[in-house]
Amino acid sequence: MTSSDRLYQPGDIILSADEIARVVARLGREITADYDGKNPVLVNLLKGGVVFLADLIRQLPIPHQIDFLSVSSYENGTNSSGSVRIVEDLSTNIAGRNVLIVEDVLDTGRTLAYILNMLEIRSPGSLEVCALLRKKSPKQAGIRVKYVGKEIPDVFVVGYGLDFNEKFRNLPYIAKFVTPE
């Protein structure tokens, strides 16, 4: 860790590890009830959502498939660049399938709106969103999220897979990210 890295630290805890476990278990029950007998494809947005996905699929006793999209909209900072870049596309044909996007945090919604439009063109049977976190923000792009784990303040967060410049993903909790003044 460089001396400049030490200036950046996780701040107040937004969700403890126990709270996260309870939220994920609840989401698992809701998804199981809605998708029983439907063999959904859970599409995870890498990299931030991988820890959430790993915990969520362990809460799903129903048959399901997983796939990944790697997208980028942050340019080494805490604000979205507004430009979405697909780094790696799905390997699954989703035509006619029940697709559930598994998202770590819904911020502005621009990235998710882009992905929803891109996937809708592929003619899924259904297309829904599960977000672990949804920021209370007036700037969201009007995205309808069927499953929401927890509403959080409009702050940048790290931990539980969420990062700042690839740091802090390993924290077992989610915390507000503190930048030096």
Q: In angstroms, rounded to a whole number, what is the distance separating the alpha carbons of residues 137 and 141? A: 10
Q: Which of 5, 36, 104, 107 is catalytic?
A: 107
For 169, the token pair is 């993903």
Indicate the Cα dihedral angle 77, 50, 112, 141, nearest 10°: -60
Is residue 177 within 8 A of residue 10, CB to CB? The reply is yes
Q: Is 18 a known active-site residue? A: no
Helix (H) or strand (E) holding 106: strand 98-106
Name residue, tokens 């990062």: 163
**Residues belonging to the active site:** 107
